[in-house]
Amino acid sequence: MPLVSLSIIIPALNEVAAIAATLAPLQGWRERGVEVILADGGSLDGTLEAARAGVDRVVSSVPGRSVQMNAGAAVARGDYLLFLHADTTLPAAFAGDIDHWATRQVAWGFFPVRLSGAGVVLRVVERAMNWRSRWTAVATGDQCLFVRRDLFRQLGGFPAIPLMEDVAMSKQLRRLSAPHIEAQPVVTSSRRWERRGVAKTVALMWWLRLAYFFGRDPGRLAKIYYPDTTPDEP
């Protein structure tokens, strides 16, 4: 019997183009007892229909990544909760060896990230992201934060803010312990950088982080980051 159980929570909003590819590698893990929960924010594009057969449970909430992830966590049964974006793929070998989290008393952690696109510039971006997260012990949502369920609930879940919820949670968790950083990277879509431009996206993300650090309202920052979309879309 495994020492620990795992629930994977996937927040989604209109992700029909990506959700099948995200769920496909998880099906073998479901057979070994990993619970997969889709936390939907009101998709209208067929996401639910595309995902339903590949998950153990669907929960619905108002849109907003933090709200959706909290809704999924509220019904999760696993000893650990892992938050997976709908456009991100976990490394194939990962779920077969999560018992070391229990033996090493891991409280929380995250993964290094690899961007899906080709090109030297994206390799530089992902290396900078991984260096920054190791140095600061702060994960972004693309890095699939995982945490003990009892600890997550003790902290009250993600703060109900429309942006930087992953940063806020990481800062709470790092006060309690250093993160465990997995060796193999997750692969996340590079569509954000490709659509907006690499330099512009990097500059915007660093500016948003700095503004959040100095106390700017996350609601106002979300309107800058998501000028033409709802706060749960990439």
Tens digits of residue pLDDT in 164-180? 899 999 999 999 999 99
The pLDDT assigned to 5 comes to 92
What local confidence, expressed as pLDDT, does residue 231 receive?
Answer: 43
Task: Give, for 146, the enclosing helix (H) or strand (E).
Answer: strand 146-148
Q: Which residue type is seen at 54?
A: G
Distance CA 196, CA 87 (A): 17
- Torsion (CA) 148, 151, 152, 156 in degrees, nearest 10: 170
- Distance of alpha carbon 123 from alpha carbon 130, whole angstroms: 11
- Amino acid identity of residue 186, one-letter, is V
User: Which residue, chain included where needed, has tokens 């992953």?
Assistant: 166
Q: Determine if the pTM surpasses 0.95.
A: no
Residue 93: the pLDDT is: 74
Closest among 150, 186, 152 to 169, alpha carbons compared:
152
Are 148 and 79 a contacting pair, CB within 8 Å? yes
Residue 134 pLDDT more than 80? yes
**190 or 13, higher pLDDT:** 13
Whole-number percent of the chain with pLDDT over 70: 82
Which domains are assigned to the chain?
A: 6-225 (3.90.550.10)
The more confident residue out of 226 and 124 is 124
Q: What pLDDT, in 10s, does the model give residues 3-40?
A: 689 999 999 999 999 999 999 999 988 988 999 999 99
Average pLDDT over every residue of 62-85: 96
pLDDT exceeds cutoff 80 at 62:
yes
